[in-house]
């Protein structure tokens, strides 16, 4: 059993909380990502699971084994937790070759020499570094060192993987390749994984579930689809998705028995209005959920194109009029040009509404 449970975990440094009353379950064989901005407590959480830091309160268990409990006075040291770790700064042994760095743990397990050799070859193949086996870490780039750290972790076959930004030093192309490798690896090995990143694309692409953190607190835990489509607060909505989600201040009003959302000249009929019914709200809509037309369309407001940013597979268009500014994403290239007049429509079913004071999602009736 390798289900990880964090129950009421807190950790402060010199009286300043880094992680606050954290409750999190990582189900066996699942890939969970801790996602959040710099300083929100991701590394601290991972180090608490690893046993490299001791919490101030709460309980941590893996399967039916309690690793830490303030109440019961339990603290299992890191080397007895059976976890594989990759740190943000990938500590390789500088005086050892790549082969030795990887084989060390296997030698300690007393695996036969031939098996170790085969294993080292296999894991280096996976991270595309087979020909670097006899180099020293100082002879490798930062990205290559990071991949050796990944290979070393895989080789040791731990039941649980803990990874702290393992792809942060890779160039964009290699990062995409390594994402696929990590995802396939998890599919193959099914090791329960806690992965740390501040990169929302990485979180969306790799995870079974994502835990979004802000200033030491959990904001939302959910599948990538839940996090993307139904963010529970505006922080999560804004943090996840690129280009950033559109937010519109406005009001819910009742027109002929139906609820409309109105923001300046923009008015949309709401399919499933929030329970609160009327009043001030903040609406969000993703850039890809807005339709844009160069021809006038009845009922669609007219706006002016501020910028057009083609990126091959997609084009990002910024449109505005008076107080209203929106980002729109279309597939491929477009014949829309800067300063053009355009007409837009928001897809009603993809709009979410938030309480402007608490910034919490308003649930539909
Ligand atoms: N050893 C320490 N002593 C004092 N404060 C610390 C220590 N480690 C972390 N902190 C503080 O705790 C908070 C959380 O730090 P943490 O390293 O967990 O953030 P993070 O989410 O991993 O950020 P990043 O994305 O930049 O790596 C920060 O405010 C940090 O300054
Ligand atoms: Mg960190």
Residue finishing a domain among 183, 209, 239 = 239
Cα(38) to centroid(ligand 2), Å: 7
Same domain membership, residue 345 and residue 251:
yes
Instruction: Classify residue 361: in a domain, yes or no.
Output: no
Instruction: Classify residue 365: in a domain, yes or no.
Output: no
Same domain membership, residue 199 and residue 309:
no
Cβ of 144 closer than 6 Å to ligand 1, yes or no, is no
Cα(42) to centroid(ligand 2), Å: 6
Count Cβ neighbours within 10 Å for each residue of 191-207 and write b for 16 or more, e otherwise. Answer: bbbbbbbbbbebbbebb
Of ligand 1's listed atoms, the one at least distance from the Cα of 40 is 21
Cα(43) to centroid(ligand 2), Å: 4
CATH number at residue 275: 2.40.50.140
Question: How do residues 73-105 score in pLDDT, each as one tens digit?
Answer: 999 998 888 787 777 666 788 999 999 999 998
Same domain membership, residue 220 and residue 116:
yes
Same domain membership, residue 305 and residue 203:
no
Same domain membership, residue 268 and residue 234:
no
Same domain membership, residue 289 and residue 200:
no
What is the chain's alpha carbon radius of gyration, rounded to the nearest angstrom?
25
Query: Nearest residue CA, atom 29 of ligand 1?
Result: 39
Same domain membership, residue 226 and residue 140:
yes
Same domain membership, residue 227 and residue 272:
no
Task: Give the closest ligand to the alpha carbon of residue 42.
Answer: 1
Question: How do residues 339-356 score in pLDDT, each as one tens digit?
Answer: 999 999 998 889 999 999
Instruction: Classify residue 148: in a domain, yes or no.
Output: yes
Least Cα distance to 264 among 326, 176, 311 occurs for: 326
Least Cα distance to 223 among 12, 67, 35 occurs for: 35
- How many domains are there within the chain? 2
CATH number at residue 25: 3.40.50.300
**Low-confidence residues of the chain: pLDDT under 70:** 88-90, 277
Cα(331) to centroid(ligand 1), Å: 39
Query: Nearest residue CA, atom 4 of ligand 1?
Result: 13
CA dihedral 180, 186, 188, 189 (to 10 degrees): 150
Q: How many helices (H) and strands (E) does the chain have?
A: 8, 21
Pocket test for ligand 1, best of 41, 46, 167, 213 (most atoms within 8 A of CB): 41
Cα(131) to centroid(ligand 2), Å: 31
Residue finishing a domain among 239, 265, 298 = 239
Query: Nearest residue CA, atom 31 of ligand 1?
Result: 39
Cβ of 18 closer than 6 Å to ligand 1, yes or no, is yes
Q: What is the pLDDT of residue 277?
A: 67
Q: What are phi and psi of 151, to 5 degrees?
A: -60, -40
Cα(39) to centroid(ligand 2), Å: 7
Cα(88) to centroid(ligand 2), Å: 6
Q: What is the pLDDT of residue 275?
A: 82
Q: Give the strands of the sheet with 192-197, arranged side by side.
A: 83-86, 160-164, 192-197, 31-35, 209-214, 217-222
Same domain membership, residue 260 and residue 275:
yes
Instruction: Classify residue 363: in a domain, yes or no.
Output: no
Domain containing 347 equals 246-354
Instruction: Classify residue 63: in a domain, yes or no.
Output: yes
Same domain membership, residue 187 and residue 117:
yes
Which residues crowd ion ligand 2, with CB under 5 Å? 43
Pocket test for ligand 1, best of 18, 87, 165, 214 (most atoms within 8 A of CB): 18
Same domain membership, residue 122 and residue 231:
yes
Least Cα distance to 299 among 262, 257, 343 occurs for: 343
Residue finishing a domain among 239, 269, 299 = 239
Same domain membership, residue 130 and residue 274:
no
Instruction: Classify residue 191: in a domain, yes or no.
Output: yes
Cβ of 333 closer than 6 Å to ligand 1, yes or no, is no
Of ligand 1's listed atoms, the one at least distance from the Cα of 53 is 1
Q: Check whether the bond before 110 is cis (ω within 30° of 0).
A: no
Q: What is the pLDDT of residue 89?
A: 62
């Amino acid at each position: 059993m390798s289900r990880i449970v964090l129950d009421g975990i807190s950790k402060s440094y010199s009286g300043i909380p880094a992680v606050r009353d954290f409750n999190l379950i990582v189900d066996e064989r699942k890939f969970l990502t801790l996602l959040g901005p710099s300083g929100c407590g991701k590394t601290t959480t991972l180090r608490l699971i690893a046993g490299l830091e001791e919490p101030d309160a709460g309980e941590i268990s893996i399967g039916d084994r309690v690793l830490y409990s303030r109440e019961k006075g339990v603290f299992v040291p890191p080397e007895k937790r059976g976890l594989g770790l990759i740190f943000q700064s990938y500590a390789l042994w500088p005086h050892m070759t790549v082969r030795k760095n990887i084989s060390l743990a296997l030698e300690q397990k007393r695996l036969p020499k031939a098996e170790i050799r085969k294993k080292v070859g296999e894991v280096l193949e996976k991270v595309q570094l087979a020909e670097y086996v006899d180099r020293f870490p100082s002879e490798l780039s930062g990205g290559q060192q990071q991949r050796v750290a990944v290979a070393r972790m895989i080789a040791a076959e731990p039941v649980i993987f803990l990874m702290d930004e393992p792809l942060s030093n890779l160039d964009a192309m290699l990062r995409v390749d390594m994402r696929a490798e990590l995802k396939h690896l998890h599919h193959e090995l099914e090791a329960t994984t806690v992965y740390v990143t501040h990169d929302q694309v990485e979180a969306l692409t790799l995870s079974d579930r994502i835990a979004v953190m802000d200033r030491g607190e959990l904001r939302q835990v959910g599948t990538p689809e839940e996090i993307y489509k139904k963010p529970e607060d505006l922080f999560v909505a804004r943090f996840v998705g690129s280009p950033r989600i559109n937010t519109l201040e406005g009001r819910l009003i009742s027109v002929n028995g139906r609820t409309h959302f109105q923001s300046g000249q923009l008015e949309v009929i709401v399919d499933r209005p929030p329970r609160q019914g009327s009043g001030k709200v903040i609406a969000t809509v993703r850039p890809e959920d807005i339709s844009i037309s160069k021809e006038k369309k009845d009922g669609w407001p007219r706006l002016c194109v501020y910028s057009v940013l083609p990126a091959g597979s997609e084009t990002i268009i910024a449109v505005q009029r008076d107080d209203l500014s929106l980002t729109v994403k279309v597939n491929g290239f477009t014949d829309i040009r800067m300063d053009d007049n355009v007409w837009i429509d928001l897809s009603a079913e993809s709009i979410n509404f938030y309480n402007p004071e608490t910034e919490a999602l308003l649930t539909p009736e």
